[in-house]
Amino acid sequence: MRRKIVAGNWKMNLRFQEAEELLDELATRLEKEQRSGDVEVIVCPPFPYLEMAYDLGTDEEDPNMVYFAVGAQNVSEHEKGAYTGEVSAAMLSSMNIEYCIVGHSERRKYQGETDLMVARKVESLLQNGIVPIVCCGESLEERESGNHFKVIERQLTEGLFHLEPLDFSRIIIAYEPVWAIGTGKTATPEQAQEVHAFIRNLIQEKYGKETAKQIPLLYGGSCNPATAPELFAMPDIDGGLIGGASLKAGDFISIINSFE
Ligand code: 13P
């Protein structure tokens, strides 16, 4: 059985007090629901809120009791030193941060993040014991010109497929079609499934059937409480990377509860 995962990418939203309220509400509601623990919940707030997120997401008396795990939204590709404004994987690891998003299309677009940078960031995270959530996905033009499979294959080959099998087996991949992000235009379950199956097949060709079977593949792009159940019911969709809907506790929890 593959892991089921719902991760919230807050992006650059919420002031400190608002973040505290949301984290607090999530922790309280997830604790109350006493979920069977079969869905891994990850919250990825902006850097300044990571420590607070870790504190509120973990029971004070029992550190094994985790309401949600915490991920960063970015990491430096460098190890340490004179890189003003950057945050290293070692720093994240020293704060008990377990996950980190890499290669999000917004970083590729606005910060010039390339496949090579994704590859370096992934390596740095793995060396520091952090699980990379690696994003891939095509733009509208690339889909309309029928190039989406080619683009995704390039992103994964250059960003990930240099890894040794053991390292690769720790990765989470998120398919996020750029045309679906923040647009309210969710990919249909069939469109998403088609790409997820393609990705799993690429993994199988490179790393074999057993690895392909166990890598979690998340869908992201206008996923909400109405669309999540059908998406998560697809055979190769193991959960979601949620943007806007992760900023409302009720919506985020409905999405977490969308697995059959
Ligand atoms: P939205 O859910 O707001 O479309 O964002 C998706 C996303 O980019 C998550 O990383």
- What's the gap in Å between 44 CA and the centre of ligand 1? 12
Tokens, residue 95: 């704060």
DSSP 3-state of 68: coil
- What's the gap in Å between 81 CA and the centre of ligand 1? 32
Tokens, residue 150: 């080619």
**Would you place residue 175 in the very low, low, confident or very high pLDDT band (cuts 50, 70, 90)?**
very high
pLDDT tens digits, one per residue of 122-155: 999 999 999 999 999 999 999 999 999 999 999 9
How much is the mean pLDDT over the chain? Answer: 96
Q: At what angle do helices 50-57 and 16-33 cross, to 10 degrees?
A: 20
Rounded to an integer, the average pLDDT of 98-116 is 98
Question: Alpha-carbon distance 221 to 111, whole Å?
Answer: 20
Question: Alpha-carbon distance 159 to 180, whole Å?
Answer: 22
Tokens, residue 6: 């719902």
Identify the active-site residue in 40, 113, 138, 176: 176
Question: Is residue 66 in contact with ligand 1, taking CB distance under 6 Å?
Answer: no
Atom of ligand 1 lying closest to residue 241 CA: 9
pLDDT tens digits, one per residue of 74-94: 999 999 999 999 999 999 999
DSSP conformation letters of 138-172: --HHHHHTT-HHHHHHHHHHHHTTTS-HHHHTT-E
Question: Alpha-carbon distance 253 to 127, whole Å?
Answer: 32
DSSP 3-state of 42: strand
Q: What pTM value is reported for the model? A: 0.97
176 is catalytic: yes
**Would you place residue 35 in the very low, low, confident or very high pLDDT band (cuts 50, 70, 90)?**
low
pLDDT tens digits, one per residue of 46-70: 999 999 999 999 988 888 889 999 9
Spatial CA neighbour of 71 closest among 88, 47, 105, 103? 47
pLDDT score at 62 = 87
Rounded to an integer, the average pLDDT of 155-160 is 98
Q: Does the structure show a pLDDT above 70 at 34?
A: no
